[in-house]
Amino acid sequence: MILIYLFRSSKIDCLLDGLKSDYGNRTFYTLLPSFSNCHLCYFLYILLNIHPLKVKFYGARGSLPVCRREFERYGGNTTCIRLLREQANRVAIFDAGTGIRKLGKELMNEGLDQKLVNIAFSHFHWDHIQGFPFFAPAYKVGQRIGILAPGRKGKITDLKGIFSIPLQQEYFPVPLERMGASFEFYAYGEEETIYGAYLKSISQHHIYPGGSYGFRVHDEGKSLVICTDIEHIDGIDQKIVEFARNADLLIHDGQFTTEEYTKFKGWGHSSWEQAVEVAVQANVKKLIITHHDPDHNDDFLDSLEIQCQKLFPNSLFAKEELEVVV
Ligand SMILES: [Zn+2]
Ligand SMILES: [Zn+2]
C-alpha cells in the first residue's frame, strides 16, 4: 500500500471517500484502487490497516443477556466485538448481540464519520443479532452499513431476510427500510486475499445450518482468530487448531466447564478447558475465553479464570469494556 501525505482538498476528499485520517490541519490518505463496489475489500481495508489493532468487548455473554448485580463485572450483554484502528478512526464490528447498543451510542457520541460501517456475523442466532435494532448508526440517514456473512458465499439465500423478518411490525415498530441508514448485504467466500493479506473464515460445528463461522484476520504480521459458538464433538477439532495456528490472539467460546459439558454435549458450545487445549495445540500467544454461560456469575468466572491461567498463563476471561492490543 502506498501512503500518500496530502493537504486537505475537497476534490481528493471526494475521490477517496472516507479513506482518510486527520492530523491537525493536515489529512493522510491511504491510496488504494477503487473499493466503491467491493465491500469485502473495504472491510479488509479497515481491518488490515489497523495498526495497532485494538480489540474491545462490548458483550461477552452467551445465549441470552443477563442483568443482576453479581453479573456486573463480566457484563450481561451478548456477543459484540469492536476492532479499531485508533489512529485512523476506523471501526469494524463482529456480531451484533446486545452489546452493540453501547457501541452504537459511543460511535454516535464520537461523531461517527465513517461512511461504511461493516458488521461481520459468525451466525445469526438471537444472541448474535439481538442488539441490531438498537444500533444507533442504523438510524443515521446517509450512513451505510455493511452486513457481511464471510464464508457463506453460495450457502445463504436470503441474508436480507434474516434482518428484515425480525423487524416486521409483529416484532418491532421500525422496519429495516425505515431505519434511516442504507444496508448492504454480502456473503463472501472462505478466503479473500487482498494486497497479500486476508480474512479467512471456517465453518465450525454448531447447531446452525452450515455451522457458525470462525474468522482469522491478518494485520501486518499480526493475527487475530475469533471462534465462538463452536463445539468440539469428537475431541479437539484439528481443523480449528490449524486455523488458529500461531495466532497472536485467539478468542474462543468457553461457555461450559468440563463437568457441565458432559450434560450439555450437543448444545453447540465448548468448555473453557477445550479452549485452552486449542490454544496449546495451536501455539497461540494469547487466549481470551468468551460466550460466558448466563448462569455463571462474576465470582464463578473469576475462579475459572484463575484455573485457566494456571494452564495457560497468557489468558483472560472476556469482560465488557476489556480492550487488548493484538
Ligand atoms: Zn451464541
Ligand atoms: Zn449460536
Helices (H) and strands (E) counted in the chain, each on its own, are 9, 17
Instruction: Give residue 266 CA to ligand 2 midpoint distance, Å.
Output: 12
- Closest ligand to C-alpha of residue 60 is 1
**CA 135: distance to chain centroid?**
15
Instruction: Give residue 291 CA to ligand 2 midpoint distance, Å.
Output: 10
Closest to 200 (Cα-Cα) out of 146, 240, 149, 151: 151
Instruction: Give residue 269 CA to ligand 1 midpoint distance, Å.
Output: 8
- Look at the alpha carbons of 20, 26, 31, 36 in this order and tell me if their dihedral is positive or negative: positive
Buried b (16+ CB within 10 A) or exposed e, 79-102: bbbbbbbeebebbbbbbbbbbbbb
Domains of the chain as residue ranges with CATH: 1-29 (no CATH), 38-325 (3.60.15.10)
Strand partners, 117: 145
Instruction: Give residue 24 CA to ligand 2 midpoint distance, Å.
Output: 44
User: For the purposes of burial, counting CB atoms within 10 Å of the CB of 244, is it exposed (0-12), middle (13-18) or buried (19 or more)?
Assistant: buried
In terms of residues, how long is the chain?
326
CB atoms within 10 A of CB 157: 9
CA distance 286 to 243: 15
Residues of the chain with pLDDT under 70: 1-51, 85-89, 193-198, 220
Instruction: Give residue 188 CA to ligand 2 midpoint distance, Å.
Output: 20
pLDDT recorded at residue 221? 74
pLDDT recorded at residue 5? 35
Closest to 271 (Cα-Cα) out of 291, 287, 285: 291
Q: Who's near 74: CB < 8 A, 6+ residues apart?
A: 60, 61, 292, 298, 301, 317, 318, 319, 320
- Closest ligand to C-alpha of residue 212 is 2
Instruction: Give residue 247 CA to ligand 1 midpoint distance, Å.
Output: 22
- Closest ligand to C-alpha of residue 211 is 2
Quote the cell numbers at residue 18: 472516507
Query: Distances from the Cα of 119 to the Cαs of 8, 81, 113, 147, 293, in angstroms?
Result: 29, 10, 16, 5, 24
Instruction: Give residue 207 CA to ligand 2 midpoint distance, Å.
Output: 7
The phi, psi pair for 263, rounded to 5°, reads -85, -30
pLDDT recorded at residue 24? 32
Instruction: Give residue 87 CA to ligand 1 midpoint distance, Å.
Output: 31
pLDDT recorded at residue 74? 98
- Closest ligand to C-alpha of residue 124 is 2
Q: Who's near 184: CB < 8 A, 6+ residues apart?
A: 39, 116, 144, 145, 146, 147
Closest to 93 (Cα-Cα) out of 56, 41, 45: 56
pLDDT recorded at residue 176? 97
Quote the cell numbers at residue 260: 457441565
- Residue pair 177/152 in contact by the 8 Å Cβ criterion: no
Instruction: Give residue 268 CA to ligand 1 midpoint distance, Å.
Output: 9
Quote the cell numbers at residue 211: 455451522
- Closest ligand to C-alpha of residue 80 is 1
Quote the cell numbers at residue 293: 454461560
pLDDT recorded at residue 181? 98
Instruction: Give residue 316 CA to ligand 1 midpoint distance, Å.
Output: 19
Instruction: Give residue 53 CA to ligand 1 midpoint distance, Å.
Output: 24
Instruction: Give residue 125 CA to ligand 1 midpoint distance, Å.
Output: 6
